[in-house]
Amino acid sequence: MRYTLRVFRYLRAYRGRIIQTMAFLVITTLLGLAPPRLIQGMVDTATRLGSRSVVALFGIGLLCIAIVSALFAAAQRYSMATIVHGLIYDIRNALYEQILHLPFGFHDQTPTGYLISRMTSDMEALSMFFGFGLGNIVGMVITFLGALIMLVAMSWQLALVALATVPFLAMTTLRSSNLLGPQFLGLRRQFARVTAQLQENFAGVRVVKAFAREQHEVIKFDRQLDDFMVRRLKLARVFMIYMPSMGFLTNLGMVLMLTYGGYAVITGSMSLGQLVASQGYMMMLTGPIRMIGWMVINAQRAEAAAEHLAEVLEHERLIADRLDAIDLGEVRGEIRFENVSFGYEEGAYVLHNCSLEVKPNETLAVMGATGSGKTSVINLIPRFYDVNEGRVLIDGHDVRDIKLASLRQHVGTIFQEAVLFSGTIAENIAYGRPDATQEEIERAAKMAQAHEFITRFPNGYQTHVGERGMTLSGGQRQRMTIARAMLLDPRILIMDDSTSSVDVETEYLIQQAMLEGMRGRTSVVIAHRLSTVKNADRIIVLDKGVIAEEGTHEELLALGGHYRQIYDTQLADQEEAG
Ligand code: GTP
Ligand code: MG
């Protein structure tokens, strides 16, 4: 229970509530022990005294206990629910916060479906355990001991007979939980796989349809579901054997005890009322034993869930503020790389000993073949990843010494892939600055050459874009993300220009948006367009993670190396077009 115990620290906030709930629980359980005694009195009165009024008194007594214990049970349930739901609420929030704060590297390697399972089914397992399991243990122990004491008080011989089947019952229930536990875990894992496939396929539904792979995916899903069902049925078979066995053992115990009690009544060593009462206590004795198995399974489930949660919750936020991290304040916008080497994985560098400098308000174009490390270079500026060797400096400060929020507020990022959220166009543009006024949003949109197409929509800035902005065209999405960065008005702009081809007019608009965006700030742009390249103050060309060439357009053309080659094959025909 190593991992489940760690969840207990979230319970600390509910100490008062827990004491209250336990008090209710103890009262309800103790009250539950009384009725068989009262019934005993009632039966004995009826058979020996024959007094109607005393029987009626016992009846009223039973009714009162029923009412009071119902009230306490209700209070206990509600009080328990507030603890459990509060606990789950706290953990879910902590988990969400942690997931969003974990670095790019974590998200690169963790499938979305996995994280969704953590947020949903693991939470449910914990909620089951803390909601029913924990409270029940206390109630079960009290009930078991209470019933046993009552039985012994009546007749120790009777108590011994009653206990005769209990060890077998306990063994059976433990056996079944040992068998069922791993099966439940397997079932849950399979369910997580099913969820993951759903998540991936719904997100990629366009690709599925475009390649006419619907049937293939349906079959794949069917296979997963089939596996799920097979596991379910296997579980049902275990239940099929164990549930009736436990039922049989319970009944056997009852028969033994009643038979013994029956003889005792005949010989007069026990009253009829006692026999009836002992039956009630016998049921209280076996109930908790039968529950043990279920409790063990619940605890195993909770432990597995807690372990998964710990994996995420205790994952180090490798990229986080240092204690003495600084706020940037005014930024000039100078970027320097000093002998930077970097790799996504241990021992596999994708950048080797790179040094470069971008002066305030300069534009640097980054070029190079695909996979040469362009995106990796610019990822290091807003510290999406940490360097392995060397330093990245902004205005002379190592980026690792700057508060992340401050750093990312001054470094605007336009990703290679245009990601939008479901919401209005205005909300999407204002994503980094939710307090922006309509005027500011429009100014940013104008800079990004997006104002015109936005105002052509009937609802203008209030137009809803679907999930991930799917209702907009690629060129429109791209300009939206430029507008989003423009609104931040960052001193430093990094832009991973996408190569996606658009029509000539859109191409022109995007070019204008980019040039407009770079004006008056330090910009590092991964360039595919001649206009961007020519506009740049300097160009670096990457080759297998090494800065191979550096200079202006003319200088590099004259050099006749990598750049010349890229120019001849990709850029030259843009001369006539532009
Ligand atoms: P294009 O965007 O295709 O033009 O390439 P790029 O120049 O931007 O290359 P990038 O910097 O993305 O990649 C450089 C190298 O790093 C390539 O060999 C990639 O395979 C590798 N790489 C990129 N991202 C990851 C990652 O998240 N994990 C790992 N392990 N490797 C990565
Ligand atoms: Mg790239």
Q: What is the pLDDT of residues 53-83, one digit of tens each?
A: 899 999 999 999 999 999 999 999 999 999 9
What is the CA(495)–ligand 2 centre distance, in A? 10
Residues 295 and 407 occupy one common structural domain:
no
Residues 386 and 270 occupy one common structural domain:
no
The rounded distance, in Å, linking the Cα atoms of 212 and 206 is: 10
CATH of the domain at 266: 1.20.1560.10
Residues with CB under 6 A from ligand 1: 108, 344-345, 350, 368, 370-376
Instruction: Pick the atom of ligand 1 nearest to 499's CA.
Output: 4
Instruction: Name the closest-CA residue to atom 22, ligand 1.
Output: 344
Q: What six digits make up the tokens of 28?
A: 């309800």
Residues 277 and 358 occupy one common structural domain:
no
The rounded distance, in Å, linking the Cα atoms of 91 and 57 is: 51
The rounded distance, in Å, linking the Cα atoms of 331 and 22 is: 58
Which of 250, 282, 313 is the C-terminal boundary of a domain?
313
Ligand nearest the Cα of residue 496 is: 2
Instruction: Pick the atom of ligand 1 nearest to 374's CA.
Output: 7
CATH of the domain at 453: 3.40.50.300
What is the full per-residue pLDDT of the chain (578 aa) written as tens digits? 788 888 888 888 999 999 999 999 999 999 999 999 999 999 999 988 888 889 999 999 999 999 999 999 999 999 999 999 999 999 999 999 999 999 998 998 888 888 888 888 899 989 989 887 777 888 899 999 999 999 999 889 989 998 899 999 999 988 888 888 888 888 888 888 888 888 888 888 888 988 888 999 999 999 999 999 999 999 899 888 888 998 999 999 999 999 999 999 999 989 999 999 999 999 998 888 888 888 888 888 899 899 989 989 988 888 888 889 999 888 999 999 999 999 998 889 999 999 999 999 999 999 998 899 999 999 999 999 999 999 999 999 999 999 999 999 999 999 888 889 989 999 999 998 999 999 999 999 998 889 999 999 999 999 998 777 777 888 888 889 989 999 988 999 998 876 555 666 777 777 778 787 788 899 999 988 888 888 899 999 999 999 999 999 999 989 888 999 888 888 877 776 54
Residues 435 and 296 occupy one common structural domain:
no
Residues 173 and 255 occupy one common structural domain:
yes
Q: From residue 291, give the alpha-carbon distance in Å to each of 137, 246, 296, 308, 353.
A: 9, 11, 9, 26, 64
Whether residue 323 lies inside any domain: the answer is no
Q: What per-residue confidence (pLDDT) applies to 576?
A: 64
Residues 459 and 380 occupy one common structural domain:
yes
Residues 268 and 390 occupy one common structural domain:
no
Tell me which of 110, 340, 344 to substitute to probe ligand 1's pocket, judged by most ligand atoms within 8 Å of the beta carbon: 344
User: Which residue has tokens 């507030």?
Assistant: 82
What is the CA(499)–ligand 2 centre distance, in A? 10
Q: What is the pLDDT of residues 362-382, one digit of tens each?
A: 999 999 988 999 999 999 999
**Which strands make up the sheet holding 411-414, listed edge to edge?**
411-414, 492-496, 522-526, 363-368, 538-543, 546-551
Q: What per-residue confidence (pLDDT) applies to 90?
A: 94
Residues 115 and 155 occupy one common structural domain:
yes
Whether residue 48 lies inside any domain: the answer is yes
Q: What six digits make up the tokens of 565?
A: 């080659």
**Centroid of chain to Cα 319:** 20
Which of 247, 278, 313 is the C-terminal boundary of a domain?
313
Ligand nearest the Cα of residue 528 is: 1
Whether residue 318 lies inside any domain: the answer is no
Q: What is the dihedral of CA 152, 156, 159, 161, to 10 degrees?
A: 180
* Burial category of 416 from C-beta neighbours within 10 Å (exposed 0-12, middle 13-18, buried 19 and up): middle
Instruction: Pick the atom of ligand 1 nearest to 545's CA.
Output: 14
Return phi, psi of residue 471, to 5°. Answer: -85, 0
Residues 282 and 351 occupy one common structural domain:
no
Whether residue 30 lies inside any domain: the answer is yes
The rounded distance, in Å, linking the Cα atoms of 546 and 141 is: 69
Instruction: Name the closest-CA residue to atom 8, ligand 1.
Output: 375
Instruction: Pick the atom of ligand 1 nearest to 379's CA.
Output: 11
Number of domains in the chain: 2
**Residue from 367, 430, 300, 409 nearest 1 by CA:** 300
Residues 374 and 492 occupy one common structural domain:
yes
The rounded distance, in Å, linking the Cα atoms of 224 and 530 is: 50
Which of 279, 313, 347 is the C-terminal boundary of a domain?
313
Residues 289 and 358 occupy one common structural domain:
no
Ligand nearest the Cα of residue 108 is: 1
Instruction: Name the closest-CA residue to atom 31, ligand 1.
Output: 344
The rounded distance, in Å, linking the Cα atoms of 362 and 333 is: 9
Q: What six digits make up the tokens of 318?
A: 């490798």
Instruction: Pick the atom of ligand 1 nearest to 542's CA.
Output: 7
Instruction: Pick the atom of ligand 1 nearest to 368's CA.
Output: 7
**Residue from 270, 262, 279, 285 nearest 165 by CA:** 285
What is the CA(370)–ligand 1 centre distance, in A? 8
Instruction: Name the closest-CA residue to atom 11, ligand 1.
Output: 373
Q: What six digits make up the tokens of 569?
A: 């094959």
Q: What per-residue confidence (pLDDT) applies to 58?
A: 93
What is the CA(497)–ligand 2 centre distance, in A? 9
Whether residue 487 lies inside any domain: the answer is yes
Whether residue 565 lies inside any domain: the answer is yes
Residues 118 and 170 occupy one common structural domain:
yes
The rounded distance, in Å, linking the Cα atoms of 450 and 513 is: 8
Ligand nearest the Cα of residue 370 is: 1
Whether residue 327 lies inside any domain: the answer is no
* Residue 459, domain extent: 335-525+533-577
Whether residue 558 lies inside any domain: the answer is yes
